[in-house]
Structure 1
Amino acid sequence: MILRDVLRAGAEELRTAGVENAMRDARRLMAGALGVDAGRLTLLERDEVTPVVSATFLDAIRQRCEGVPVSHLLGWREFYGRRFEVSRDVLDPRPETEALIAEALREPFEEVLDLGTGSGCIVLTLLAERPAASGVGTDLSAAALEVARRNAQALGVEGRCAFTQSDWFADVGARFDLIVSNPPYIAAEEMAGLAPELRHEPRMALTDEADGLSAYRVIAANAGAHLRPGGRLLVEIGWQQGGAVAALFRAAGFAEVAVLPDLDGRDRVVRGRWRDGKNP
C-alpha cells in the first residue's frame, strides 16, 4: 500500500475510537515510524510503505486508540522550541507551562531550583536560555530524575545542572535567586474526570490525593529559607487556584505577589518576591 492510504486508514481507526485530531496524530505517528519530520509526509504520500513501517505505524495507532499519548509512543515532546524525552515516569511538558518560563526569564538569575522537576523541561529550558546560570532539579521519583539527566545531556547543559532525589526541600541546602515548580495541583476528586491520556502519566505528578493545594502549602512555607533576599518564587497553578495560592504566598511573607495568565488568558502562574530590606 502507498503511504497515503495507510495514513488514511490509521486516521479513520483513531476517529472511530473517538480520538480528537485524528489525522494530526496519525501523521505524527507515521512520521515517527518513518523516522522523518511530519512536514515531509506530503512529499512521500505516493511512496510504497514497507511491511515493517506499516506494522510499526498500525501498532502505534492501536495504542493511541487505547489512550496512550502520542508523546509516549514517539518518546519525546517539544517544549519551548526544544525536544524533551518523555516516558510514563514524567509529566508531559505542556504549552501552558511556557507562561512560567516567560515570567522567569523577565529578570536575570544565576542559580535556579526546580522542585518536582520531572522531565527537567523547566529548569533545563531556563539554563538553555541563560548560558551563565546553573540549577538544581529535585524530584521524589528516581526514574523521573534519570529522564531529566538524559534531557540535560541532550541539551548540553548537564555540567550546569545537578539533580537530587528529594521530597520538596528535604534534601536541599543551598539558597537560590529563583525557585520554580509545577507541582501536582489536581484535587483527588477531580481525577476521575480527566482525559484518558492522563492515566498514562505518573499519578504523583498530577494529584496530591487531597484538595490540590498541599504542595503549595509546603512550597510557600519553606521557600523563603532557600531564597536569597529579593529572590523570586514562581509556581504553575490550576486555572481556578490563583486566589488561594496567592494568599499562601502572602501569608508566608512574600511581596509583589501576582497571578499571571497563560496565552489562553487563564490564570496559570503565581509569582512572589522574597522579602529584602525594602519588603518587611
Structure 2
Amino acid sequence: MVKRAKAPPKRLRVRSKPPKVSPGELLTLLDFVRYAVSRFNEAKLTFAHGTTDPVAEAAFLVCETLHLHPDQFDTFATARLAAHEARSILEVIDRRVNSGKPAAYLVNKIYMRGLPFYVDERTIVPRSFIGELLDSHFGGQDGEGPSLVDDPDAVEDVLELCTGSGCLAILAARAFPNAQIDAVDISRDALAVAARNVGEHGLQDRVMLHRGDLYAPIANRHYDLIIANPPYVDAEGMAGLPPECRAEPKLAFDGGADGLDVVRRILDQASHHLKSEGGLLCEIGRCRSALEAAYPQIPFLWLDTEESEGEVFWLAAADLQTP
C-alpha cells in the first residue's frame, strides 16, 4: 500500500493593494516590464506556464496587452505608451499578482513553438516539452538532429492522447504535413477549447477531436505515432501545487499516488494501436525512476530538451511487444 504524502499547509497569497502609480511615471515598455518584475518578485509568484521567470512573464503580458507578438518586444522596447495603454498594463499586472491565476488565463493566449493558441480555465495551460521534440527529433522545423522517423512526409496517422487545448495535435500536423491526427481527451470542456484552436489554425480537415478515455474512442485503429502528455503529478506533488496550478483543472495533473496511473494504461495498450514501424512519445515529468522500476524490461529512450532532462521517453513499437 502506497502512503499518500501529508499535505503541507497551503501557501496563502495575501492580496496586495496596488501601489498608486501614475501612468506618466512609467513611460516605455521596458519601464512597465521592470515595474511588473518588481511586483511579481514581491508577491513570490510561480512561473511555469509558458514562461519560466518574471522577466519573460512581464514581457509576455505587456506585449499581449498591446497586441504585439512577443518577437516584436525588442523593436518597441523603448517606445512610449499612451495613457490608456499604460492603464491597461497596470490593470493586468494587478490581476496577475492578486488573482492567483496563470498569465495565460488573463490574456487567453499562450505561444508554443512560436504559434499562438487560445486558452482559458477549461483546460490546462499547455507547456509540453514534446513541441520542441517534434521539431528536433522528427525532422520538423529544426530538422538538423537525428530523426526518430525515416521520413516525416510518410507519416500518415498520428494519435494524441490527453490533448487538452489541442496544441500538440496542431504542432504534429505541422511536423507531419501528410498525416491525419486523431486527438482524444476525456474532458468535454477541454475539447471545446481544442476545437477553437483547430479552427483558428485551419486544420478541421486534418485534426479530428474525440471525447473519451484514452484509446476507447478510436477502437482498433493503428498509428505511425502516438503522442501523450498525460496527468503525471504524484500525490506529494498534488499536495504542494502552487496557486497558479490550483487554478487549472485538477484532472489534467493528478496521476495517482506515484504519478503513473494514466501512464501505465497508455503503455500497456500502446502496442495494440501502433503500426509495426511506429512509436510512442510520452511526457512523464519527474517520474523516470518510478517508471523504470515499474517496467525494468522496457528499453526507454529518454529525450532531452533545452529545459528538461529525462522527462520524455520514446519507445518503438517493437520495444513494446511482450516477450
Counterpart among 209, 213, 234 of residue 187 in structure 1: 234
Aligned partners of 1:135 and 1:79: how far apart in 2? 18
**Aligned pairs, how many?**
274
1:206-225 pair list within 5 angstroms = 206-225=253-272
3-state SS in 1 of match to 2:312: strand
Query: Post-superposition shift, 1:27?
Result: 3.1
Q: 1:160 to 1:48 in 2, by over 3 A?
A: closer
Q: Which has the higher helix share?
A: 1
Q: Percent identity?
A: 31
Counterpart among 279, 300, 311 of residue 268 in structure 1: 311
Aligned partners of 2:81 and 2:277: how far apart in 1? 61
3-state SS in 1 of match to 2:282: strand
Gaps of 5+ in 1: none
3-state SS in 2 of match to 1:88: coil
Query: Residue 237 of structure 1 aligns to which amino acid in structure 2?
Result: I
1:124-203 pair list within 5 angstroms = 124-173=170-219, 174-203=221-250
1:24-43 pair list within 5 angstroms = 24-38=56-70, 39-40=72-73, 43=76
Structure-2 residue corresponding to 1:111: 157
Query: Post-superposition shift, 1:86?
Result: 1.6
Residues 175 and 226 of structure 1 are in contact (CA less than 8 Å); yes or no, is this contact kept in structure 2? yes
Structure-1 residue corresponding to 2:13: none
Aligned partners of 2:166 and 2:43: how far apart in 1? 33
Matched, 1:74 2:100: no
Q: TM-score, normalised by structure 2?
A: 0.74
Q: 1:274 to 1:151 in 2, by over 3 A?
A: same
Matched, 1:17 2:23: no
Structure-2 residue corresponding to 1:232: 279
Residues 166 and 172 of structure 1 are in contact (CA less than 8 Å); yes or no, is this contact kept in structure 2? no
Gaps of 5+ in 2: 1-23, 48-52, 140-146
Residues 183 and 209 of structure 2 are in contact (CA less than 8 Å); yes or no, is this contact kept in structure 1? yes
Over residues 29-83 of structure 1, what are the superposed CA-to-partner deviations in whole Å (9 max), with x where a residue is unaligned?
Answer: 22222222353476475635334x3443222112211332222222111112211
Residues 85 and 147 of structure 1 are in contact (CA less than 8 Å); yes or no, is this contact kept in structure 2? yes
Which stretch of the first structure deviates more once superposed, 19-28 or 214-223?
19-28
Over residues 92-134 of structure 1, what are the superposed CA-to-partner deviations in whole Å (9 max), with x where a residue is unaligned?
Answer: 2226333542445531321000000011121210111222111
Aligned partners of 1:201 and 1:50: how far apart in 2? 33
Query: Post-superposition shift, 1:6?
Result: 5.4
Query: Residue 27 of structure 2 aligns to which amino acid in structure 1?
Result: L
Q: TM-score, normalised by structure 1?
A: 0.85
Over residues 228-266 of structure 1, what are the superposed CA-to-partner deviations in whole Å (9 max), with x where a residue is unaligned?
Answer: 222211111123x23443566676xx7x64222232451
Query: Post-superposition shift, 1:180?
Result: 0.8
Which stretch of the first structure deviates more once superposed, 99-108 or 170-179?
99-108
Residues 128 and 229 of structure 2 are in contact (CA less than 8 Å); yes or no, is this contact kept in structure 1? no
